Amino acid sequence: MPLSDIQDRIAKEEARMDRAPGSAQLIAVSKVQPLERVVAVLQEGHRVFGENKVQEAAGKWPDLKAQFDGVELHLIGPLQTNKTRQAMGLFDVIHSVDRPKLARTIARIAEEEGHCPRLFIQVNTGEEDQKAGVLSDELDDLVALCRALNLPVEGLMCIPPSGEEPSLHFALLAKLAKQHGFDGLSMGMSGDFERAIAQGATYVRVGSAIFGERDYG
């Protein structure tokens, strides 16, 4: 599906919900995509991209950023503590803060480097053992720690369980964000981003609907 079609669908859902144009930003998720597909989307003028893995992004984006001005790069996958410094030097926004150790590591490196990306806390709304994210009943403590560390947390992120109605998880994330005074909501992917916008998403993460199916080889 062309990028413009996704942008039109986002704009229509914003209008339907009486939201300001551009209040739901599109992250084009370029993980495991051939370089030519990513370049094509850049050439169309899009500048906000998401990657799942630090190493893959490090091998791709420094050269692309040198060619295209204004790129904003988002880490949407789990972040290992030992990759934190590299991630903080590469990404403008990290969506996967999910544990105290990672928060403290980010704070320490930010103090050393004098720079910190914008942050989202990932919430495991489905309480899935195999999925990253802080559990809802542990969120209060992690938010309090991030605020004590003066981390620039803008909001919350979730990835609903497959096979469940995502709107229920989007509504829960929106409720938790409101309770903690956050405006940012990173939620919604190729199959459900319009439902996420209806629940207040400020970032939607769309990959295959823009680039086509991924070849994991």
**pLDDT by residue (tens digit) across 16-68?**
999 999 999 999 999 989 999 999 999 999 999 999 999 999 999 999 999 99
- pTM, two decimal places: 0.96
In a domain, 213, yes or no: no
- Asked if the model's pLDDT at residue 216 lies above 80, the reply is no
In a domain, 186, yes or no: yes
CA distance linking residue 74 with residue 27, whole number of Å: 8
In a domain, 215, yes or no: no
Q: Is 147 helix (H, G, I), strand (E, B) or coil?
A: helix
CATH number at residue 160: 3.20.20.10
In a domain, 152, yes or no: yes
Q: Can you name the residues that pair with 5 across neighbouring β-strands?
A: none
> How many domains does the chain divide into?
1
In single-letter form, the type of residue at position 115 comes to H
**pLDDT by residue (tens digit) across 115-124?**
999 999 999 9
CA distance linking residue 68 with residue 30, whole number of Å: 15
**pLDDT by residue (tens digit) across 57-113?**
999 999 999 999 999 999 999 999 999 999 999 999 999 999 999 999 999 999 999
In a domain, 111, yes or no: yes
In a domain, 112, yes or no: yes
For 1, 41, 42, 43, 211, the CA distances from 37, given in Å and listed in that order, are 12, 7, 9, 10, 6
Residue 214: pLDDT band (50, 70, 90) is low
In a domain, 217, yes or no: no
- Residue keyed to tokens 């998880």: 169
